[in-house]
Amino acid sequence: MSDLKRERISAKAVTVGGSDIDTDRIIPARYLKCVTFEGLGEHAFEDDRSQLKQSGALHPFDIHEFAQAQILFVCKNFGCGSSREHAPQALMRWNKGIRAIVGVSFAEIFFGNCLTLGIPCVTADEQSIKELACANRADPDLEFCVDLKQMKVFFAAREVAISMPESAREALITGRWDPTVELLKSKDHIAASAARLPYFRGWSSAT
Amino acid sequence: MGKNLYDKVFERHTVRELESGQFQVLVGLHLIHEVTSPQAFSMLRQSGLKLLYPERTFATCDHIIPTLDQSRPFADSVAEQMIAELEKNCKEFAITYFSHTDGEQGVVHVVGPEKGLTQPGMVICCGDSHTATHGAFGSIALGIGTSQVRDVLATQTLPMSKLKVRRILVNGRLKPGVFAKDVALYIINKLGVEGGVGYAYEYAGDVFDRFSMDERMTVCNMAIEGGARCGYINPDETTYQFLKGRRYAPRENFWQQAMAYWESVKSDPDAQYADRVTYQAEQIEPMVTWGINPGQSLGVNARLPELTEVPKNQRPLVEEALRYMNFKPGMPIKGQKIDVAFIGSCTNGRYSDFELVANLLQRGQYKVAPGVRALAVPGSQLVHRQLIERGLDRVFSEAGFELRNAGCSMCLAMNPDKLQGRELCASSSNRNFKGRQGSPEGRTLLMSPVMVAASAIAGEVADAREVFDLNT
Ligand code: SF4
């Protein structure tokens, strides 16, 4: 299961500024009426992006130089609003897929939804986020390394400290963040429990 | 010390303790619908997983189905895509699907019980918060998110933490004109919309003992609106009689064995609870909500709160509700003109709900007031057929109600049944959130089906006891 371990994520980055970016902005509510998360990626930040376009500006997700990014820098209370899982699902499906998010703070449910998908949301102080964002904007090709073992982001011979609740960090670096895999580990136990419940096989086929 | 039903059922379904400190719990019955399951299936496909026990998952289509023209393909291409996807997934993964072409479709929380799938002593999950409904049979019934739907499909289990249990006793006798919906709204009003956070609610006492299964489901349905993850009622003779003869209920030769299990999970007389509250049935009035959450309610003859009566920390929410509803502090709710009346949903869309209203409508040649759009939407195709068989469909249409085909309809707006603009709707559903019924400015007043009918006839919020002369 080594491929589930999330120790170090090295990639290019993109910065989306602004506090309290809610799940509606990450993925507009109309995409709730859909049958699959696939294809959600292209709609990430859709309304923000089109509004900016109309005003003659470009959202970072529309700037060609950032198209390779897999690490996202954000500000405060990112992912607030509804509990919909569509938000992290959209981010992990945008272009090459966001694999780690660094911000000042995250909404709790969003954080949990990301964890279930193996996407670490780590926090850093405002000054550090500024530093990361500046370096990222100055050079879109710059590689960042989010290191969950050392709890630092490394870039261009510099580093900033990051933090994350220990239980989440532990689950990510040991590869135990995927609940399905965890639950499937005890298939025999599951079968035994099912056999103990008189109704489980349907009464008509019970013995 | 004895144990309550929640603890017993939880223990019987515990597979093991997880490293996180949570418990891996077996799900005995899994229900799915078209809105929250498709993504779970794509996740399964992506990871190459199969269903562990496909025979324990059952599907139907409710949210997006139109209630007028149900011929395929649906006019709304996204709705068509969603139902087609559900059909495809059920076929591919060998899941029993209750389809509307077979006459088996309905709101998932109406269909489960009427087929005898919902039984005492189960852990029941569905990607829908009103799964709490099934607790009426003495089960732990929980709404879950999409990743959890995937996990139940793949593993038939979920990681769960144990809830605390609050015992809610309602003793005495309900007054004429007061129904299960009023009890549900009363409890939420008393305990608050967040009062149940971290709890399972055990409902007990005279009132619940006398309630039919339909009435019990109405109250458990709204446990979630009080913040509780689930609510339940201990099984008894009423529960067993309801189940007898239903398709998935135990056959004669297994009945004793089933009864033994059901009796064994009941709360012990000396069971422990984290909390207890007691209410007197005589205190409960026909309730109406006036705000934007189900806790903002009052007796139909009461006045809205004055701002000075509201604790300071709650004032912003009250002000926000008044602004949205366009209501004034201190005004009566009775007499508010309504535009729409809706009887249906998983709270009050069962046969007995319509039968009760039809009996009253028949008494006096009542007619829906001019200008009021009145919809009666059965919770399932079976309910619809029963109404037709017993001639009650005509009672509704003669009174000016439009009797539609089964579905979630105007409970929420994922189908063509929607409020327009700022319309005010007397509704037997369960949520009065902003925009819930399809118009971003639409306004909802929650009440019992009988109160909805009375208000439809009066053209304004009315006391059903006066309209139908219920005071005896
Ligand atoms: S009737 Fe309403 S509350 Fe019930 S499942 Fe449908 S949309 Fe949800």
Where are the domains positioned within chain A? 2-176
Mean pLDDT of chain B: 96
Task: Answer yes or no: do B247 and B293 share one domain.
Answer: no
Spatial contact of A104 and A129, defined as CB atoms under 8 Å apart: yes
**Given pLDDT bands bounded at 50, 70 and 90, which one contains residue A204?**
low
The reply to whether B184 falls in a domain is yes
Spatial contact of A89 and A117, defined as CB atoms under 8 Å apart: yes
- The closest of A10, A46, A40, A4 to A25, measured between CA atoms, is A46
Q: B412: Cβ below 6 Å to ligand 1? A: yes
Q: Which of A197-201, B237-241, B457-461 is predicted with the least confidence, judged by mean pLDDT? A: A197-201
Asked if the C-beta of B259 comes within 8 angstroms of chain A's C-beta atoms, the answer is no
Asked if the C-beta of B39 comes within 8 angstroms of chain A's C-beta atoms, the answer is yes
* B277-310 pLDDT, tens digit each: 999 999 999 999 999 999 999 999 999 999 999 9
Question: Smallest Cβ distance to A85: which of B26, B53, B146?
Answer: B146
Task: Answer yes or no: do B361 and B308 share one domain.
Answer: yes
Residues in A closer than 8 angstroms to B245, CB to CB, are none
Q: Is the peptide bond before B269 cis (omega within 30 degrees of 0)?
A: no
Q: Say what the pLDDT of residue A85 is.
A: 86
Task: Answer yes or no: do B374 and B293 share one domain.
Answer: yes
Mutate to test the interface with A, among B254, B262, B418 (most CBs of A within 10 A): B254
Task: Answer yes or no: do B184 and B218 share one domain.
Answer: yes
Task: Answer yes or no: do B259 and B346 share one domain.
Answer: no
Say whether pLDDT at A203 is over 90.
no
Q: Which of A42-56, A191-205, B343-357 is predicted with the least confidence, judged by mean pLDDT? A: A191-205
Exposure string for B373-407, b = 16+ CB within 10 A, e = fewer: bbbbbbbbbbbbebbeeeebbebbeebbbebbbbb
Residues in B closer than 8 angstroms to A179, CB to CB, are 147, 151, 159
- Architecture (CATH level 2) of domain A2-176: Alpha-Beta Barrel (3.20)
Q: How many Cβ atoms from other residues are within 10 Å of residue B60's Cβ? A: 28
Distance CA B143, CA B223 (A): 11
Best probe residue, ligand 1, of B35, B37, B108, B109 (max atoms within 8 Å of C-beta): B109
| Shortest distance, CA A190 to any CA of chain B (angstroms) | 6
Task: Answer yes or no: do B291 and B260 share one domain.
Answer: no
Q: Name, in order, each residue with C-beta under 8 angstroms of B42's C-beta and a sequence gap of 6 or more.
A: A35, A36, A37, A38
Asked if the C-beta of B433 comes within 8 angstroms of chain A's C-beta atoms, the answer is no
Q: Say what the pLDDT of residue A91 is.
A: 97
The reply to whether B281 falls in a domain is no
Compute the distance from residue A198 Cα to the ligand 1 centre, in Å.
Answer: 31
Residues in A closer than 8 angstroms to B119, CB to CB, are 199
Distance CA A168, CA A146 (A): 15
Best probe residue, ligand 1, of B82, B412, B444 (max atoms within 8 Å of C-beta): B412
Q: How many Cβ atoms from other residues are within 10 Å of residue B245's Cβ? A: 10
| Shortest distance, CA B293 to any CA of chain A (angstroms) | 16
Whether A183 and B52 lie within 8 Å, measured CB to CB: no
For chain B, what is the domain count? 2
Question: Smallest Cβ distance to B28: which of A167, A180, A197?
Answer: A197
Mutate to test the interface with B, among A199, A200, A201 (most CBs of B within 10 A): A199
* B39-88 pLDDT, tens digit each: 999 889 988 999 999 999 999 999 999 999 999 999 999 999 999 999 99
Q: B411: Cβ below 6 Å to ligand 1? A: yes
The DSSP line for B136-168 is GGS-EEEE--HHHHHHHHHHSEEEEPPPEEEEE
Average confidence (pLDDT) over B450-469: 98
The phi and psi torsions of A66 (rounded to 5 degrees) equal: -95, 5
Q: B178: Cβ below 6 Å to ligand 1? A: no
Average confidence (pLDDT) over A156-164: 96
- What Rg do the C-alpha atoms of chain A give, in angstroms? 20
Predicted ipTM?
0.90
* B150-176 pLDDT, tens digit each: 999 999 999 999 999 999 999 999 999
Whether B154 and A183 lie within 8 Å, measured CB to CB: yes
Q: Say what the pLDDT of residue A207 is.
A: 42
Task: Answer yes or no: do B400 and B443 share one domain.
Answer: yes
Residues in A closer than 8 angstroms to B16, CB to CB, are 186, 189
Residues in A closer than 8 angstroms to B47, CB to CB, are 180
Task: Answer yes or no: do B230 and B374 share one domain.
Answer: no
Average confidence (pLDDT) over B180-206: 96
Nearest CA in chain B to A196: B12
Task: Answer yes or no: do B188 and B236 share one domain.
Answer: yes
Q: Say what the pLDDT of residue A202 is.
A: 82
Closest residue to atom 2 of ligand 1, CA basis: B411
Q: Say what the pLDDT of residue A1 is.
A: 42
- The DSSP element (H or E) to which B374 belongs, if any, is strand B373-376
Q: Which domain holds residue B33?
A: 5-264
Compute the distance from residue B208 Cα to the ligand 1 centre, in Å.
Answer: 23
The reply to whether B270 falls in a domain is no
Spatial contact of B405 and B380, defined as CB atoms under 8 Å apart: no
Q: B417: Cβ below 6 Å to ligand 1? A: no
Say whether pLDDT at A206 is over 60.
no
- The closest of B119, B146, B149 to B134, measured between CA atoms, is B119
Task: Take residue A8 and report the two structure tokens written for it.
Answer: 């170090």
* B99-145 pLDDT, tens digit each: 999 999 999 999 999 999 999 999 999 999 899 999 999 999 999 98
Whether A33 and B122 lie within 8 Å, measured CB to CB: no
| Shortest distance, CA A204 to any CA of chain B (angstroms) | 6
A-proximal residues of B, 84-143, CB under 8 Å: 85, 119, 121-122
Task: Answer yes or no: do B103 and B212 share one domain.
Answer: yes
The CATH number of residue B325's host domain is 3.30.499.10
Average confidence (pLDDT) over A189-204: 91
CB pairs < 8 Å spanning A and B = 109
Q: Last residue of a domain, which of B264, B297, B324? A: B264
Which carries the bigger pLDDT value, residue B314 or residue B402? Answer: B402
Looking at the DSSP assignment, which residues form a beta bridge with residue A146? A9, A153
Compute the distance from residue B67 Cα to the ligand 1 centre, in Å.
Answer: 14
Q: Say what the pLDDT of residue B46 is.
A: 85
Q: Last residue of a domain, which of B264, B299, B334? A: B264
Q: Say what the pLDDT of residue B108 is.
A: 98
B-proximal residues of A, 151-190, CB under 8 Å: 167, 171, 176, 179-180, 182-184, 186-187, 189-190
Task: Answer yes or no: do B294 and B204 share one domain.
Answer: no
The reply to whether B278 falls in a domain is no
Ligand 1 nearest-atom number relative to CA B62:
6
Nearest CA in chain B to A31: B78
Q: Last residue of a domain, which of B264, B279, B308? A: B264
* A41-64 pLDDT, tens digit each: 999 999 999 999 999 999 999 999
- What Rg do the C-alpha atoms of chain B give, in angstroms? 22
Task: Answer yes or no: do B39 and B175 share one domain.
Answer: yes
* B17-43 pLDDT, tens digit each: 998 788 999 999 999 999 989 999 988
Compute the distance from residue A86 Cα to the ligand 1 centre, in Å.
Answer: 20
